[in-house]
Chain A
Amino acid sequence: MRKSFITGIALVLVLAAGWTAFSGQDSQYLERLDNWAFESPRRPGAVFSHDDHIMDLDDDCSICHHVYEDGKLVPGESSEDYYCSDCHGLKPAPDNSMPLEAAYHKLCRDCHFDEGQGPVLCGECHIKE
């Protein structure tokens, strides 16, 4: 009884490890985001598939490339011609309530949580180089 229990646990662990190893970041369009805007990044740039997101979001660029005016989202306006860092400064300030790092984390992770899919843990995007 006890032996079969231990074998069962071991089997579950092996299957879990295998499942994780072969699931997740499997897009053929995966690229690594350039993190030049950060002064001294602690983590490698996130891996990301722009093409997959364009398909998943039905070509609505403004979902990620949003425009905020006076703290309010401007519906339908998009900002693909700007860098994220044009609006989101590195350090928090009265006129910069969403610093660059938090902006990335919130935009990506919150959507992945809301949609119930996509990476949400640190090392799922910041994969070691």
Chain B
Amino acid sequence: MNSFIAFIMGPMVWISAIIFLGGLLFKFIGIIQSVRSKEPYVFSYLTVKHSLRSIGAWLIPFFPKSTRLSPVYYGISYVFHIFLFVIPLFLASHIVLFNEAFQISWPALNDGVADWLSLAVIAALVFFAIRRQMVPEVKYLTSGSDYLLIFLVALPFITGYLAYHQWFAYRWMVVAHVLSGELMLIMIPFSRFSHMLTAPLTRAYMGSEFGNVRHARDW
């Protein structure tokens, strides 16, 4: 059992990280090649200035008009996305592992705070799942895989929460936590999680077309 744990907390972390980063790189190259062959004129008006302007505008919470039209959804979405990154990157237990592997360290979140924030992330995911059922235009676009992806994001947080509290089956809970985290990383290039790459690309395209062609704002 210890050698299995050594594998999933050692080589498997590297394998997951390489698939995650390499997969996104391949996807990026594929998208650029696809645009080059199908709509090469996009590059004639794509500029760094208009791209960054649009990405920046959409990074500021409630700055774009459409986000103010659905404040509850966007509010929960902002909180969810921020803590999706902040909790795992600033969790004391994760930093300890980083420190032992690479001798680098940074300030950690208070464990109690991280504990409550994890519940907030899980609650946000429950909200997203219910929303897919309740809002007709969203329900129309929803398939089973959307719920599967929501569950996949929730799993590392649920197992992490249960493992931290050591209520039951601790060893299995940590194993499930590590594996589900790695599965989520691996799935990013191959699923709609890849919007962490494609969303900024969409903004670059939209920002350039609105800013450089129509001389309008896209937020």
Contact = CB atoms under 8 A, between A and B. Distances in A.
A67 interface: no
Contacts of B103: 92
Interface string A98-129: 00011001100000110011101111100110
A123 B169 contact: no
Contact of B166 (A16, A106, A128): A128
A11 to B, nearest CB: 14
B5 A121 contact: yes
Interface residues on B, range: 20 to 34
Contacts of A128: 165-166
B169 A116 contact: no
A81 to B, nearest CB: 28
Given A42-B92, A106-B100, A121-B174, A21 B169 contact: yes
Interface in A36-76: 42
A123 B163 contact: yes
Interface residues of A, number: 23
Interface string B163-197: 11110111110100000000000000000000000
Interface of B: 2-3, 5-6, 92-93, 96, 99-100, 103, 108, 111, 163-166, 168-172, 174
Interface of A: 16-17, 20-21, 24, 42, 92, 101-102, 105-106, 112-113, 116-118, 120-124, 127-128
